Each structure stands twice: as structure tokens, then as C-alpha cells.
Amino acid sequence: MSVGATILDAEGLRLTAEEKAFFRQADPFGFILFARNIDSADQLTALTGEMREAVGRDAPILIDQEGGRVQRLRPPLAREWEPPLDFARQAGPEATQAMYLRYLITALELRRYGIDVNCAPMVDVPRATTHEFLTDRCYGTTPAEAAGLGRAVAMGLMAGGVLPVVKHIPGHGLATADSHLDLPVVSAPVEELDTVDFAPFKVLNDLPMAMTAHVVYEAFDDQPATLSPRMIQVIRNDIGFDGLLMTDDISMKALSGSYADIASASIDAGCDVVLLCNATLEDRRTVADAAGQMSHIAQDRADRALALRGQASEVDIRTVEEKLEALLRGRGDV
């Protein structure tokens, strides 16, 4: 049975009665958390439980826990991390193993509170002109670095029982604008996009979930990828991604128009599920109505993704932390 084609958030530390009733009726595919939803371990665990109880199933609960600037969980609930690019450079030749261990630790931390999806790896390839909101969130400056470390991030998360969401497909690295505030327009030719920006996503096209880029690629279309049937075709056919495709947050200023129109357009373009963040309850109702239920194909992709959640390794977080610390000190065999 199909569920609602939305991922939604909550306003505060616990669900209100009105939110519970709405989520029960709208039955969103999943939920996403922000810093405003997080206070203590007991509170957060209770909130994720309430979210699942509202829809009557083990719905996925997402978070942005990249480390660095984009890290919703902070001490004492989770370890503070350097930005990914700085961390990878510090690890040097050990970066692949270090990133794997870092994100295994992250996954183990998230699962403590009932969170089972992380919006990472981010395999955008930065350039000299890339907007600063993105640069230090990247993993390297070449497609090979992005793909290799992106694979390590994904495998670390999955080893800890957390699903990765690769982003921002098909590549945000050439954007000179912050898509939270403006619509980035990329004028690069197809050849550059294919060999640089799309390349890491081709390598990682087997990952279970991906998030779109609110970016216009003029070589293909005048619409941002999230709303472009042509770009979704590129993602599916040229890049070869057949997992669950979610939009980036449709409340970001890169997209214009009503929430209902944006939600409908993204589903019509070929996205499987619509992400809406930081909106009013009425806006969430509007988007849930506009997005409707997941298509049968989208639901099949969702089911395939969620089936991977149970494949976590039985590992002790302190043991993993010790391995990472030894690796970064240049000692230890990991």
C-alpha cells in the first residue's frame, strides 16, 4: 500500500495534538529533524517514537548530520566534527578509512535516538567559484575523490544501520549561488557536466536514496533539476540512479511559485517524494495534498531502500572511536 509522497518536519520538541492528527491523515513517507526538535536524549527518543506512532509504522526519520556547519545533533548528544573537507585533508592517505569510521560513529549515534536516515554523502565537486555555503562540505576537488570518499561515507552509515542519501544529484559544484537564497544557473557544456559533476553520482548510482539539486543546467533545460523532466531523465538514464529520489527542501528560495505548484511539478517531473521543511502546518497540509500518494514505482523504490535498514553490524561505538583516533594519530592497524 502506498503512503504519502512527502517527508515533513515538526515545529517543536514534541508533536502537538494537531500535528499528530495531521500526520495520521497525511501518512507522510518519512520525517526530518532540525536543531529546534532536539533538546535531550530522552526527549529526542520520545519525539521519534511519536512520529512513528502517528503513522502507525516504522517510518524513516531523516537528519542532516554531515559534520561541521551542517550538524543538527551536537554535544553531548553526538560528537562534534570538523567540516568533511578539512577532515579528509587532515586524514591524508588514510582518508577513506577515516571517513568510513567517522560515519559509522555518526550512524551509531543517530540510531540511539531512533534516527535511521542521514542526508549524506554529499559528492558535489567544488570549483574555485563554488559558493562558500558548499565548499567545505565537499570531500575533495576531483570526481574520483568525491566518489571514493562518498562510498566510504555511505558504507560507514549503512554498517551502523542508517541509510545514506547521496546529494545533490546531478551535482551542485558549479553553482555560484546559495540555493537556499537564489536559483543557481550553470552554463557548463554537457561534456564537463558529464565527466566532472555527474561522474561521482554514476559511481554511486547503486545507493538507495538521493536528493535533487535546485540548480538549472542550461545545457539541458531552463528549469531547475528538481522540476525538470529532462534532468530527472538524465538522473535515471545517463547517471543510472534507480533508487528513491527525493527533492531537496522545496521551501528553499531557489524555487519559485506556490508550495502546491512546486510539489506537483516535482512529482510530475519524476521525483518520488517531496521534502518540505520549516513551513507552517497549513503549508504542510497543502503540500501533502498536492504531492498525493507515492506511485507504485516510487513505493517499490522506497521499500527496497528501507529493507536495507536492518543490515547494521553489531559494533561498539567506543571501539570504533578508538580505531579512528589511532588511525588519525598514525598508529594502529585498522
194, 197, 248, 272: the active-site residue? 248
Q: In the beta sheet, which residues pair with residue 217? A: 186
* Distance in angstroms (rounded) separating the CA atoms of residues 95 and 145: 10
Distance (Å, rounded) from C-alpha 140 to C-alpha 211? 20
Burial bucket for residue 249 (CB in 10 Å: 0-12, 13-18, 19+): buried
Q: Is 172 a catalytic residue?
A: no
**For residue 164, which phi and psi values (nearest 5 degrees)?**
-85, 150
Rounded to an integer, what is the distance from CA 3 to the centroid of its chain?
20
Indicate which residue of 39, 136, 178, 180 is catalytic. Answer: 180
Q: Where are the beta strands (DSSP E) in 74-225?
A: 117-118, 163-169, 185-186, 209-212, 216-217
How would you class 330 by CB atoms within 10 Å of its CB: exposed for 0-12, middle for 13-18, buried for 19 or more?
exposed
Does the annotation count 316 as an active-site position?
no
Own/partner contacts of 69-76, CB < 8 Å, gap of 24 or more, are 69/136, 69/137, 70/137, 72/33, 72/34, 72/35, 72/38, 73/38, 73/109, 73/110, 73/113, 74/35
**Cα(74)–Cα(2) distance, rounded to whole angstroms?**
35
DSSP codes, 252-305: STTS-S-HHHHHHHHHHHT-SBEE--S--HHHHHHHHHHH-BPPHHHHHHHHHH
CB atoms closer than 10 angstroms to residue 22: 19
CB count in 10 Å sphere of residue 89: 13
Which residues are catalytic, by number? Answer: 180, 248
